[in-house]
Amino acid sequence: MRRPIEVLLALSASMVAAFATGVVPAEAEVASPPEAIPLALPEAFGEAPAPGAEIAQVVVEADPFTQLDEAGLDGEGLRAAAGPLPGRLAAFDLRAIDLTAIDDDDRRCLTEAIYYEARSQTLAGRMAVADVVLNRVESRRYPNTVCGVVFQGAAKGWGCQFSFACDGSMEKAVERRAMIKAQAAATAVLGGFRLPLSGGATHYHADYVQPFWVGAMEQTAVLDDHLFYRVAKRQVRLASN
């Protein structure tokens, strides 16, 4: 039996077109899907100019936040949360993302992490969770792949770094709209539109719990009901004379 996300990723092209116009059906029907096809998320961000096409004399820079709004995501909310950005990110063209350059497993695992960990959060909150995953990939303390980070400990059935990988959440029916939005966020991040929303965090928790490891961490950000942390830098004490 295929897992819920595998069923979701087998939805028809009409679903992609619906998301591209912001009209996403509210009902989640995942049974008896049609022939499997990939979701081409850049289509949701509009069409990039064709190679060799005439370019207007007045060149207008891409606005990724407006593109996200047009795709049915909260781009303006993300703009407010992100604050000032360097020119490369501020003018990032989401339409130009090359899906063939994104590893399928990376996108699947990051989509699952965003969906199961942060689907109730704002777009900024979802992308902050994605940032934590990638911060771990870049750290020598953790596995060096997206799937390795997301499912660390899952093979043992206990000690999962992300609770959804061990608690049976993935066996439940998915919310199609939320999963598609999670994949859109994962595609944007892996495609190069990665914002430093977590402040370099490698950990986070909901504001209604108090993990044992908080004492060894320094807080870097608060987004929605998630608090983000990184390992506290060691303070060097100088011996007094």
Instruction: Walk me through the domains of the chain, giving residue ranges and CATH numbers.
Output: 4-44+64-80+98-197 (1.10.10.2520)
Token output for 211 = 């993990």
Long-range contacts for 74-79 (Cβ within 8 Å, ≥24 apart)? 74/122, 74/123, 74/124, 75/123, 77/122, 77/123, 77/124, 78/122, 78/123, 78/124, 78/127, 78/195
pTM of this prediction?
0.76
- From 94, 61, 66, 81, select the one nearest 184 (Cα to Cα): 94
Q: Residue 217 gets which letter from DSSP?
A: E
For 183-215, write each residue's pLDDT tens digit: 999 999 999 999 999 999 999 999 898 888 888
For 31-65, write each residue's pLDDT tens digit: 333 333 334 455 556 565 566 655 444 445 789 99
Enclosing H/E stretch for 223: strand 217-223
Q: What span, in angstroms and rounded, lies between the C-alpha atoms of 114 and 164?
A: 11
